[in-house]
């Protein structure tokens, strides 16, 4: 989706696994792989804000969302 079109899209138009009786059969497998990848990253890397003095502006939705984004720094654990 182009950035200019995102503002005009109705909510919930992006459903990566669909829903109902035609839901993607690989949904649970894909979610499991994403969780395993997240665990591997957190176990093998220290994750910090690139600029620790940068102010994070968060918006409360279903989950906390950064309004302006942020940069992360990954340092491999020894």
pLDDT digits (tens, 9 = 90+) for 6-15: 777 777 777 8
Calpha distance 56→58 (Å, rounded)? 6
pLDDT-based confidence at residue 1 (cuts at 50, 70, 90):
low
More confident residue, 53 or 1: 53
Calpha distance 56→69 (Å, rounded)? 8
Residue 74 has pLDDT above 90, yes or no: yes
User: Would you state the pLDDT for residue 8?
Assistant: 78
pLDDT in tens, 13-63: 778 888 888 889 999 999 999 999 999 999 999 999 999 898 889 998 888
What pTM value is reported for the model?
Answer: 0.64
Looking up tokens 């909510």 gives 11
User: What's the longest Cα–Cα distance across the chain?
Assistant: 48
């Amino acid at each position: 989706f182009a950035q200019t079109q995102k503002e005009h899209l109705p909510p919930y138009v992006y459903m990566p696994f669909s829903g109902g009786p035609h839901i993607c059969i690989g949904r649970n497998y894909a979610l499991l792989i994403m969780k395993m990848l997240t665990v591997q990253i957190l176990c093998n890397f220290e994750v910090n804000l690139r600029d620790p003095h940068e102010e994070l502006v968060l918006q409360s939705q279903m989950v906390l969302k950064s309004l302006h984004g942020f940069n992360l720094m990954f340092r491999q654990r020894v």
